[in-house]
Structure formats: structure tokens, C-alpha cells
Structure 1
Amino acid sequence: MANTRAPSAAEMDWHPRSELPAAAQAALPVFCDGGYLPGVSSVGDMPLTEQPETDSAPLQASALNARYQLDTELFLEGDVRLRQGTFQASGSAARFNQQSGELLLQGPLVSRGNGFLLTGESALYATGSGQMDINTATFLLHGPELRGRAASLSRVGDNQVLITDGLITSCGPASNDWAVVASDIELDRAEGFGSARHVRLEVLDTPVLYWPYITFPIDDRRKTGFLYPRFGSSSAGSGAYLALPYYLNLAPHYDATLTPQYIHGRGLFTEAEGRYLSHFGESVLQLGYIRRDSDFRAETPGADGERWALDFSTRASFGAGWRGYGDYSVVSDEDYLSDLNLSLGIDQATHLQRRGGIRYQSEDHYFDAYLNGYQTIKERIAEESKPYAQLPEIVYAGTLDTGWLEASLDSQYTWFYRDNETLAGLDRANGHRWRAIPEVALPMHALWGFSRPSVSLDYTRYQLEDYSLGKAHFDRTVPVFEWDNGLYFDRRSQFLEIPYNQTLEPRLYYAWADAEADQNHIPDFDTGIRSFRFEQLFRRDRFTGGDRVGDANQLTVALTSRFNDLLTGAERARVSVGQVRYFDDQDVSLFGAGAAGRSRSPLAAELVLNPIDYLEIRSSGLWDHETRETEEGRSELLFHTGDYRYLASLGHTYSRADDLEQTDMGTVFPVTDRLSAIGRWVWDSGLDRTVGTLAGLEYNNCCWSVQVVHQNYLTDDQQLDTRLLFRVELKGLGGSGGASDNIADAIYGYDERERRRFGTARR
């Protein structure tokens, strides 16, 4: 009768998808054919976790036949089963030497422990130390789902495995798509990493890379060592690049990553990131440096090619509602972000913010004190258009509720500073601004609606420097009256046998503010004009910041209706529409902008539809009844399946004032269970051209994946630059490349898709 090969450790615990329990099948990604289930112990009935430590536990044994030589040896034959503490094994025969404490077990043998399975032809087990040496072994680690084989294997206690002439992979039993083959491999489950010497990376059993020594993680714990390289191509970055990150696990509460990278055409560019965690919070420092940027020197006359960047952020929680924060960024030149930021999303920022302060927040009080400044990184920004620094800004807000009367105070002190030596007039002014808005309101609430009349006083005082248009000390006082009212009606009905609740929510909001029309003698430190949206219907001031207070005598009429699914509680539809009626002209302006003489605002509307759980349709816009034209609008359709394998978005943006009309589409679409197409396209109707594209392919199976992404994007000079990024993931050992970390910025739902794919994948 022919010999049949004993199953390997992986084959023993591997189950096709159809044989897995329903819960395991639901968690298994569609591109996986099966998964591992830990086998049940065949030795005794006591759970392993209740066993005493190996070196203090007695050896338990059973067999069909036994022969004992007094004080010398014990011979066992036929269905031999052994247990000592957490160690257990089975085989065909065993010989135990009572003098040395060594046990020779003949195979085919099977040994199980907490989270691992070993098989082999024979083994020598030391009952005193717990070490077991196995010949011609296979092994499976259930946690990281790593399997392999070895000419010989030593299990040194419960957590350490030494492998000679071994192979290790995360692929299923029938696949060797990739494997690490090494002369010596050590797996340390206590420390959470493995190491290997004389290593070959094999793809489809073909060697593709040799490395004399590597370490690699076998769980989620951190360890000092090289991470997987990142590589790609960028026309903005002058071509191909290769980055080799090195991680430094310096202490449990701080670490660092050093990333030297070579960029074709530029040279050696180095980035460093340090992270520090205290009992107060976390701080992160990032640095970038290139000594001689060849392309930059060629494009910038007189430049020596030295370029650098720094970014620091910190967050702290001191308890009792107190928090601290800080952000500081600086770059050497205005093109640093576009040249050396090798992500899919090019940062087109014109100003880098530096802000730090302390904040307190409770149910009734809010306090924030901070310093805030900027680095303007675009040389084309005029001096008078650069933002002011706040050195400092102090904000306090408090509320006192007596039950029937509500009193509140919003207040702010700011010292505004900017280097205005080359400017004149209002643009030259710096100075201090105090603003306080005390308010008294009478809130009334019921199940059928609400009413909230209130009176407030908007007071501002200025103390200016380098001001030549009159008194440098002056104030402004604006009395304000507001009355917000709403009613709530609902009815129950049924649609397609689904019960739902429909609401009708009319709302009236009146605002009156007696502000002086001419406020243009006041500098513009931080003020802008709010974009008119649906939510602006219920704001009395059309200005942001504090240098203008809008005059108002207006009434908003709005109506909202909702449709709620009574079976699931989900809001299936919401439609809102409203308009403002102006009883007086709006005279206050920001140097001519923001004033108006019309009697009614455009109609503002919002529509949200959720006909099914994974489909959302949103639309918002403004329609001018006088010109009978749409002023602006944004519509989008967002769809994903329950497992986020299918993603789709379709959007349209229009603004008549900005002469902007764009259409964008994005999708992730599975071509097969393992191959998906990724795409995004943005078309500008005004420019009559494509202003951005992203196209890529993603392949997944249960032991590796690859993504290739090509992107075009419109730069400041109206040119389409390109990038090509890759990501290769050897599951169980990590990945290289930089694509998937950034696709989420362009594709709706992709970040959730990645989380589910790597968070639940099982082989």
C-alpha cells in the first residue's frame, strides 16, 4: 500500500469558504477562497489556558500500548498523546528517558499551543525546559496567519520558534505567490517580530531579491528597522523617486521615522518625523531637507539648491476642561510643497498657519487664548492682501440659564499686527480690537414648536497704530433684535408597505440691527463676506470677522419636510427651501462689497435623499427669481455597497459669480472578485478641458495586493502635471509604495473600504 503524505500544519486548519461558519464567511473578503480555524485539542479535556506553566507541570501521557522499565524509560505505542502545561502533542510512538527528562516522539506528530500548530516527522522534547526540536517540520501561527516549513524547527518555550532552512508566507496552503526563504528564521511572539538571515524573497517560487538580514513584524507591535520602500513617478517632482523609510522605536512613548529618498533630477531628499506621547497628549515634528536640488538650481537663478521644511503640531489635555494646542509650519520657498510633496493631493496653500494656545470648555463657558500668524508662501500675493497675525487673540463666551430667561456673553480681544512699512492709508494700520456681544433671550420650547426672542448689543472698540484717517481710538455700538420661531407638524403614512413619518416644519426668523452705513473708516483686519447658503438664512450678519457689523431689517421664511422610515429610524428624505425678505436696503459694505438694494434674496434650497441605505443624493443651490437664473448649485450622488467594494460618486458644481462649472465622477468598480478599476475625472465647462483625472487598477488576493495609479492635475500655471504611484502589499509583512494612502482624498468612501479590507481580511 502506497504511503500518503501527512497534511501540513496549514492544511490541517484550513477550510474552504463553504465549510466555514456563517460568521466567518461574512467576515471573509470576497477575494479569499477560505480561512483558518484553530483545531480542537485532541489531548485531554482541560482548556490550555487553565494549565500550569510547562516547567512546573507534570507530564501526562496516553497510548494504546505502554511498556515501562523501572526508573529508566517509558515506551508508548499507538495513538500517543502527551501534555505538559500548555504543551501538547500527538504521534505514533514515544520514548521517555526518566534520567534526562527527554522525550523522543515519532511522527507523524502534531503539536498545538496557544495560537500555533506544528507538525513533523519526529521530535525531541525536553520536559524540564519545554524546548522541542522537530525534524522536517511545518508550522502555522494563527494570529498573523503565517505558515511555513523547515528542515528543522526548535520550539523554545511558548513564544519562541527557531527555524533552519525554512520558508514563511501568509499565502494559503495551495499557494506560494510570495515567500521569504532563509537559512535561519527566528519568530519571537513575546516581542512581536521575526528575524531572518540569508534571505531570499521568492515570487511564484522564483527568487527575486536577496538580503543578508531582515526583521519583520508578526503582530501590530512597533519595532526598530526598515519599513517597506515607497516608489513612484511625478512630473512635478521631476520623475521617478524611491524612498526607504527607517523606523526607530526609541521608547514606549516616543519614536521616529527617517526617510531618505532619491528623486530623479533633484538628488537625495531626506524627511524625518518624530512623535512624542505624554500623559497630556501627543506631539509630532516633521522635517524635510535637500542640500542641493539640481532642478531647482537650474530653474531659479542664484539659488544654491538648499531647501527645507518644518511642521510641528501638539495637542494636550490637562483635565477639568482645559486643553492646549499648537501648530507651526514653515518652508524655504513657495515651490517646496508642489516640488517635494509626493502625495496624490498637491497642497496649493498660499499661507502656512502658525497657531498655539490654551482652551477651556464646559457646558456653560468657553475660553480660548492663542497666538496666530502665517507664512505667505506665494510671492504674487500683494502686501496689502497678506493676513494679519493675532498677537494674541482672547475669546470668552458664557451662558447663564435661569430656567425662563437666558443671558449670554460673546467677547473677544485681539491685537492685530502686520509689517505695513511699505503701505499707506488703512492698509498701514495695526492695532487692538475689543468686541463684546451681551444678549438676553426668552427661549420657549414645546413639542409642537419653539419661539426665541432676544435682544443684544454688538459693541466694538478700536485702538489703532499708524492710523491717519481720524481718531485712533473709537468705538461702535449696534443694537440687535432677533426673533426665531418654528412649528412642528407630522403625520404617519405608508409607502410600498413601509410605514414612515412625514414632518412639516415652517420657520420664521426676524432680525433687526441698527448699524451705521459707513464703516469703511475701519481697517479690514479679519473680515470677509459670508457665502450665501441655506444656513445663512438664519444669520443676522452677512460679514465674518469683527470689522464690519451688517445692518439688518429682514424676515426669513423657510420650510423643511422630512420623511423618516419608522422600521429603521433612517431619514429617507429631507427637503428645505427658504427666502429672506429685506425691508430696508443693506448699506454696510466692505469697501463696496456686501451692500445690496434688493427686496428679496435668492431662493435657497437643499435636498437630501436616502432611498436605500447605501445611496445618498444631495443637492443645494440658489435660484434668483428676479433674473430667473441659478446663482450657484452643488449636486452629488454618492453610492457604496455594504462591503464598500463598489463605490461611485457623481457631482456637479456651478457658480455664476465665479464663472465656474465643473462636473466630477469617481468610482471603484470590481472587474472580477480580485481586480478592481479606480477612476476619477473632473471636467471644467468654462475652460472646456479636463482639469484632473485619476485612473488605476487594484488587484487583491488573500496574500498580496497591488495598486497602480496614474493622476493628472491642473497646476497654478494651468498645466496638467502627472504622477504615477504604486503600492505593493505582501499581507502579513506590510506594503511598499504610496498610492492607497492618498486615493481616499479623491474617491468617496475609499478610506472606509481600505479599513474594512485590511481590518477583516482572513485567509
Structure 2
Amino acid sequence: MAAQEQPRSGQDVAALDWTPRDQLTEEQREQVPTYCSGAYVQPPLPGLAEADTANPAGGELPLRARSDQARYQLDRQAVLTGNVEITQGNLRVTSDSALYDQQAGAVALSGPIFSRGNGFALSGSGAQYDVDTGVMRLNTANFLLYPSAMRGTADQLVRQTETTFAIEQGRLTTCEPGNNAWSLVASDIFLNRETGVGEATHVRLEVKDTPVFYWPYLTFPIDDRRKSGLLYPSFGTSNTGRGLYAAVPYYFNLAPNYDATLTPQYIHGRGLHTELEGRYLSRFGASVLALGYLADDDEFGREFPDADTERWGLDFNTVATLGPGWTGLIDYAAVSDDEYLSDLNRTLEISEATHLLRAGQLSYTDSDRYFEAILSGYQTLDEDISRASRPYYQLPELVYAQTVGDDLEFNWESQYTYFWRDNEGLTGLEQAIGSRFRVTPEVALDLREIWGFTRPSVLLDHTHYALEDYDQGSGNFSRTVPFFQWDNGLYFDRQFEFFGADFNQSLEPRLYYVWSPAKDQDHIPDFDTSLTSFYFSQLFQRDRYVGGDRVGDNNRLTAAVTTRFNSLETGTERARMSIGQIYYYDEREVGLGTAGTETRSDSALAGELALRPLDGLEARVSGLWDARDYSTEQGRSELIFHSEDYRWLLNLGHTYDDDELEQSDVGAVFPVSRHISAVGRWVYDRVDDRTVGTLAGFEYASCCWSVQLVAQKYLRSNEEIDNRILFQVQLTGLGGGGSAAGEISEAVFGYEERQRRREQMTPAFGRF
């Protein structure tokens, strides 16, 4: 095999262990990205005595040597010539000749030097080896570290131990042999494979032998372990909010269970905006704290002369497992002003919104019980939102639910909530605050067989209010609404063959009836209630309202049917089709404002269609169709495709809602060549007849580096179109920086999985 050859003088040792793609085994090729032309394959180490491998540094391990010719002076020296091979421990060195000074414990080797060890290969023009310490010095050296696929050259390389190497006047890269797309050149480099860290002084980054960046001192990873250090700069531009910006993040690997990233960034016209993101992992769970701060925003001051130009943002969330069944959650976000998220935010995990949530939650779950305690509030960002339309704080909300029995079930759910908000200037029901206690006991007979199920049940929805600032009479009152439900379904199956494949088709008709009387509820405030969106799964909901302040009147029957096609070979669901409709026997009287009351005797037809003819191809259609006037009320259709390796991605979508909303979107990533892929997305609003979002650019990927460059336009909440350019670069083995890949992941479904797979495979060529 080529990897076993002896290097010629001056030859790059990395080329000896490089195997072209067409010479790899099928299993190895599957682990190598398509844009790599081959892989490093480490040959097996020469067989050594078990005792010799006990101490890899050498020490008192015996020195073994062989050659074509030898001259030996007793207790003084040995001169070896012709095919010299020296082994000690798991170190093996070959050369043309060697002089062993027994008294000094030193071996001087000359001619082409070649050495292999566990995870490395070295070559040079000459070497000195210390038998007692295991230290070896090579002149005009070439080196290769297999796990990281890192290779390079040095005027002098010192193998201090099997895991540490000191390099003088060195150059290193993770690119394929003969392709120095990038390299680090330094006066001194120290590589520690035990810690996974490299250090270098007077470092310059060269791209195609052209210097592009300089560090007086640099540390960098040489494997996939985390380490502190500068991340790659990122930059971008937008025509609104941020302007031209440049950021240089610094990563702090503080401990195995916590770290932080500090990102100072200069924004043209605004100044220095600094962001800090800290992550902590305890035995209870994970916590993330993100902070942003800008001391004096000149641009914001010009736009809002009376506003405070000191700007900040905060986002904290934690999820904790506190014991068997117990979990805790805290989610808290705050910003200095309404425009912070659109102008400055990069690291806070919150997008442009009208309200920011502040919530703490404690919950317990087991097989038949559930308990939850929540404290929640909000920061309203849009000052144009009226006080009457702002959400209530819940201080607190307590929920307890329990199920007892099998066939004969008893279900109990209770909820206590105290609702509060600033009601200054409000009148009528909008000014009311106070507590609501709701309990919904249910008795059900749940009978299930392989051929179907039936579930009749009786439920009582009882709610009691104790309100303050209530001007409709006494604030203490109750509302009780009984429910009767009967849910029934059948299962039919048949097997058939289609184009040589065996399938199972199920036919699942379902009837669901629910009855509840109308109760006058116009005197009850609306704390948290809304009308549910109508789609197929809502056909089987008990009530048309969510929240506790309205309970709908019902006398309706749902009829629906679902059919599924499953592969008998793999069990994969290849197709699913569902359609259903509600038939009303009474008019709906209980309303929420002007919504929720109707006289129509039937609903629109609600349907869903899901097709998965191939593992990488999926089509979904859902919608509402009015059979009376042959019109579509709502619809969403999407086509998702990805190749097996996720190099090809395609998303097509269309959304429609009663002429109020109609948008089409297309997103794609497709290879133009083995290394270059085009990236794009387009969102078009048919109602306003305009483009509301685009993303276009390219991605270049090779074994040793990748780059994404995209231009993006998107519609902000204030109806402005924002234009920005995003850039990201990744050097294999040394990390990268920028934000383009994150934006592409949000725009094109499947791109995140594409990135994850590439990170797993690269550098796969250094793992064999």
C-alpha cells in the first residue's frame, strides 16, 4: 500500500497516507463528503512487544535497532548504515544511517528520516533522538496528525512526548495534500494532543500564500474539544437599524459545564455594542444568559431626540430537572426600548415581538397526575397597543389534573389564576382584575379494541370568579356548564401490492358528538380567551374557545374519515388522507365580542393530505373548502425535498386565508459544482402584490474550509424592507464566525440538518 512507503528526502509525509476517493472502501467513501477528493488512512502500526508499549515516552524501555550493516564499539557507540530501523516503546524511526552514542544515550540519524507513532507521522532530513527521555528533534520536518487531519512543515520539530510537539518556523493546515487554501504560519507552534490545544506566536493567516491576518499570539483547537480564544470576525450591513457592523467574538471555555462568548461589535453611526452570552450546565439542567449593552447610541438619539440613548437587552432561560417527575423553568426577557430588537439584537433568543414574556414555572408529572405552578408577566414593546388590548399578568396560575381508572375513567382538572394588569383609564369589563377558579370533573367509559373504540363521557365545567374593580354588580359569581360527549371510531385494514411493493391500507371512520347548553356570559371579562382556529384536528375539540372565560354552546356532530398507506417492509407511512365536517343542530349563541356566534348548519369541509413517496420527498396540503359556494376558505400546501446527503434542498409553499393573506414561498439549495452550491429563498405576497422577503447567495465547501455569502431582504414589523449582507467562514479544525448559516437555516428547511451532517463528516478524512 502507498501508505507504507518510505518518504524520499524533502517529501511531504501527508502525501504518503493520502488515499484518493476511488481507492477508498465503500464504507469509507460514505463517511467522506462529496467535495473531498480523498481521505487520510492511517496504516496499522508495526507490531511491537507488549512490554515495549507500556511507557510511550521511552525511559528505561529497551532500544532495538537493525540495519544492513553495523559497526559496534563496546560500551561506546554503534554505527548503523543501510535501511536503519530503530524502535523504542511505540516509537519507530527509519533512516539511511544512524550513530548511537551509548554513553550519552543519544542517536543521531541522517538521510531521509521517517517516524510513525500512535496518531502521527513525521519525516525530516536529519534527527537527534534521546534514548532516556524519548525526545526527538527533526530538521526540515514534515508532520501529520491523523485525528485532526492537521499537517504541516517546520524548520525544526521537537517530539517532546508522544502527545506534545514543539515547532520552529512552522506552517500548518487541514487542507488536502497539494492544496494550501489556507494555512497558519508562525515562528513558534506548540501542539498538545493530550489537551487538544495548539499555541503559536507571531502568527499570520495565509490564503493561497497571501497573508490576510496577523496575531501576536494565538491558541487554537487541534481536535473537537472546546477551548478559549478569539473566534473569527463577522461583518454585515443593513439599510435599516444596524447599518455596517463588524464583530470580533471571544470564546471563554471556563469549565466543562459552563462557558461564555463575549462579542464586541462596532456599528456605524451607533457605536460599540457589546453582547455577552453565558451557558451553564448543572446536574439539574441547562441555563443561558444573554446580555447586550450600548452606552450611547448616536443614531437612536437623532431618530428619537427625547429618548435615553443608553440601550440594553437581557434574555435568561433555564430548564431544570429537580427530582423524579419535577421540572422547573424560568424564561425572562427585557429590553431598554421598543426598537432594541430590530436595531441591535444578535444573540438574544427573542425575535421582534409586541410582548416579551417573563415567566417562572414549576411542574410535576407522573403516569396519572399533573401539577403546574406559573408566575408570568410581560413587557409590552409597542406603545401603540391600547391598555385594553394588553395581556394580563398571571400571579399565579395553579393547575392540577388527575386520571383514575382504565375502562371506567374519572378525570379531574382544576385551575386557579389571579389576573392583574394596570387598569388605569380603563372602564367596564376591561378594568376588572381578580381570581378565577375553574374545575372540570369528567366521567367516561373508554372501550377500545383492535377494530375500534367508543367513549361516551359526561363533564361539568364549573368556574367561580372573585373580581376587583368590577362594575357589573357583585364580583363574586359562578358559571356552570355541563357537557355530554360521545366519540366513536372504527379501523379497517387491507393489504395490497403496488409496483412490486407490499402495503397496508387502513380506513378509519369517526363520529364525534358533543352537547352543552347556552349560558349568558356577557358579564364575564375576557382574561385569556380566544376563538380557536378551525382546521382538521379541531373537528374533535370539546369547545370552540380556548381559555376559561367563555364556554360555548354545542349541539353538533362531526363526521370524518382517515385513510393511511403504510409500507409493510419498513412500516413507513407513505400517504395519509383525512376529511371531515361538522353538522350543527342549533345556532351558536355564546359569543366573544362579535366572534363565535353563527347560524350556519354545517362547517366547511376540513381536510389534510400528506404524501411521502420517497424518504426525501414529502408533500402536505391542508385546508378548508366551502361546499356551498365552491370556494377555499383557508389553505396551506408545501413540498419538501432533500437528497439523501442533503446536498439538494427544495421547499415550495403556498398559504391562503380568505383573501386577507395569500403568500407563496420558494426556498432551495442546490449544487452548482462539487464545491459550490447556490442558496435562495423568495416570499411573495399576492394580496399586496409585492415581494416581502428574499435571500440569495452561494456556499463554497471543501475539505478544509467553507464560506457562505448571502444578501437578504425581509419585511420588518414596521412594514420597512430591510436589506443586509451576511457572511460566514469556517476553517476546518480552527472554527469560524459569522451569521449567514443561521439565517439560511431559518429560510430553507433542511439546511440545519445539512450543516449538522457536514460537521460530523468533516474532517472525516482524518479519522480512519
Q: If the length of structure 1 is used for normalisation, what is the TM-score?
A: 0.97
Query: Shift of residue 499 of structure 1?
Result: 1.2
- Letter of the structure 2 residue corresponding to residue 582 of structure 1: Y
Q: Take 1:538 and 1:384, find their aligned partners in 2: how far apart are those partners?
A: 32
Map residues 156-235 of structure 1 onto 2, 5 A cutoff: 156-235=160-239
- Letter of the structure 2 residue corresponding to residue 661 of structure 1: E
Q: Take 1:251 and 1:41, find their aligned partners in 2: how far apart are those partners?
A: 35
1:735 correspondence with 2:736: yes
Of 710-719 and 547-556, the range deviating more from structure 2: 710-719
- Letter of the structure 2 residue corresponding to residue 476 of structure 1: R
**Per-residue displacement from partner, 1:565-622 (whole Å, max 9, x unpaired)?**
1122211111000001111111111122111111111100000011111110000000
Q: Take 1:301 and 1:593, find their aligned partners in 2: how far apart are those partners?
A: 42
- Letter of the structure 2 residue corresponding to residue 456 of structure 1: L
Which residue in the other structure is 1:707 paired with? 708
C-alpha spacing 1:161/1:137, structure 2 compared with 1 (3 Å): same
Query: Shift of residue 248 of structure 1?
Result: 1.9
**Per-residue displacement from partner, 1:236-271 (whole Å, max 9, x unpaired)?**
234211111112222333222211100111111011
Of 191-200 and 345-354, the range deviating more from structure 2: 345-354
Which residue in the other structure is 2:305 paired with? 301
1:594 correspondence with 2:596: yes
Contact kept, 8 Å, 1:43 with 1:82, in 2: the verdict is no
Of 70-79 and 183-192, the range deviating more from structure 2: 70-79
Map residues 95-494 of structure 1 onto 2, 5 A cutoff: 95-342=99-346, 347-401=351-405, 403-494=406-497
Q: Take 2:158 and 2:467, find their aligned partners in 1: how far apart are those partners?
A: 80
Q: Take 1:43 and 1:123, find their aligned partners in 2: how far apart are those partners?
A: 23
Q: Take 1:452 and 1:675, find their aligned partners in 2: how far apart are those partners?
A: 58
Contact kept, 8 Å, 1:43 with 1:81, in 2: the verdict is no
Contact kept, 8 Å, 1:231 with 1:736, in 2: the verdict is no
Q: Take 2:692 and 2:551, find their aligned partners in 1: how far apart are those partners?
A: 39
- Letter of the structure 1 residue corresponding to residue 738 of structure 2: G
Contact kept, 8 Å, 2:290 with 2:348, in 1: the verdict is no
- Letter of the structure 2 residue corresponding to residue 531 of structure 1: S
Query: Shift of residue 87 of structure 1?
Result: 2.1
Which residue in the other structure is 1:576 paired with? 578
**Per-residue displacement from partner, 1:534-574 (whole Å, max 9, x unpaired)?**
00000010111111111111111000011111122211111
Q: Take 1:473 and 1:120, find their aligned partners in 2: how far apart are those partners?
A: 91
Q: Take 1:744 and 1:320, find their aligned partners in 2: how far apart are those partners?
A: 36
**Partner SS for 1:7:** coil
Which residue in the other structure is 2:608 paired with? 606
Q: Take 2:117 and 2:9, find their aligned partners in 1: how far apart are those partners?
A: 23
Q: Take 2:218 and 2:609, find their aligned partners in 1: how far apart are those partners?
A: 56
Query: Shift of residue 105 of structure 1?
Result: 2.4
**Partner SS for 2:703:** coil
Which residue in the other structure is 1:548 paired with? 550
Q: Take 1:629 and 1:48, find their aligned partners in 2: how far apart are those partners?
A: 83
- Letter of the structure 1 residue corresponding to residue 145 of structure 2: L
- Letter of the structure 2 residue corresponding to residue 522 of structure 1: I
Query: What stretches of structure 2 of length at least 5 have no aligned partner?
Result: 1-6
Contact kept, 8 Å, 1:370 with 1:392, in 2: the verdict is yes
RMSD: 1.8
Query: Shift of residue 197 of structure 1?
Result: 1.0
1:28 correspondence with 2:32: yes
Query: Shift of residue 653 of structure 1?
Result: 0.3
**Per-residue displacement from partner, 1:508-546 (whole Å, max 9, x unpaired)?**
111112241x21211111111100010000001011111
Q: Take 1:470 and 1:159, find their aligned partners in 2: how far apart are those partners?
A: 82
Which residue in the other structure is 1:628 paired with? 630
**Partner SS for 2:165:** strand
User: Percent same amino acid at aligned positions?
Assistant: 55
Query: Shift of residue 50 of structure 1?
Result: 6.7
**Partner SS for 1:585:** coil
Which residue in the other structure is 2:3 paired with? none
**Partner SS for 1:54:** coil
**Partner SS for 1:298:** helix
Query: Shift of residue 78 of structure 1?
Result: 2.5
- Letter of the structure 2 residue corresponding to residue 751 of structure 1: E
Query: Shift of residue 346 of structure 1?
Result: 9.1
Query: Shift of residue 704 of structure 1?
Result: 1.4
Which residue in the other structure is 1:639 paired with? 641
**Per-residue displacement from partner, 1:323-381 (whole Å, max 9, x unpaired)?**
11101000011111011124899923110000112111111111111101110011111
Q: Take 2:717 and 2:324, find their aligned partners in 1: how far apart are those partners?
A: 47
**Per-residue displacement from partner, 1:27-83 (whole Å, max 9, x unpaired)?**
111111111001222454769977666334322333333332222223333322222
Query: Shift of residue 486 of structure 1?
Result: 0.7
Contact kept, 8 Å, 1:134 with 1:154, in 2: the verdict is yes
C-alpha spacing 1:44/1:252, structure 2 compared with 1 (3 Å): closer
Query: Shift of residue 176 of structure 1?
Result: 1.0
Of 79-88 and 584-593, the range deviating more from structure 2: 79-88
1:565 correspondence with 2:567: yes
Contact kept, 8 Å, 1:343 with 1:742, in 2: the verdict is no
Q: Take 1:115 and 1:741, find their aligned partners in 2: how far apart are those partners?
A: 34
- Letter of the structure 2 residue corresponding to residue 466 of structure 1: D
- Letter of the structure 1 residue corresponding to residue 410 of structure 2: A
Q: Take 1:653 and 1:626, find their aligned partners in 2: how far apart are those partners?
A: 22
C-alpha spacing 1:176/1:48, structure 2 compared with 1 (3 Å): farther
Q: If the length of structure 2 is used for normalisation, what is the TM-score?
A: 0.96
Q: Take 1:437 and 1:65, find their aligned partners in 2: how far apart are those partners?
A: 96
Of 624-633 and 500-509, the range deviating more from structure 2: 624-633
Query: Shift of residue 425 of structure 1?
Result: 0.8
Contact kept, 8 Å, 2:277 with 2:347, in 1: the verdict is no
1:37 correspondence with 2:41: yes
Number of paired residues? 758
Query: Shift of residue 144 of structure 1?
Result: 1.3
Q: Take 1:565 and 1:298, find their aligned partners in 2: how far apart are those partners?
A: 64
**Partner SS for 2:376:** strand
- Letter of the structure 2 residue corresponding to residue 399 of structure 1: T
Q: Take 1:55 and 1:729, find their aligned partners in 2: how far apart are those partners?
A: 41
C-alpha spacing 1:275/1:717, structure 2 compared with 1 (3 Å): closer
Of 86-95 and 570-579, the range deviating more from structure 2: 86-95
- Letter of the structure 2 residue corresponding to residue 438 of structure 1: P
Q: Take 1:323 and 1:56, find their aligned partners in 2: how far apart are those partners?
A: 56
- Letter of the structure 2 residue corresponding to residue 562 of structure 1: R
Contact kept, 8 Å, 2:681 with 2:748, in 1: the verdict is yes
- Letter of the structure 2 residue corresponding to residue 557 of structure 1: A
Q: Take 1:672 and 1:148, find their aligned partners in 2: how far apart are those partners?
A: 28
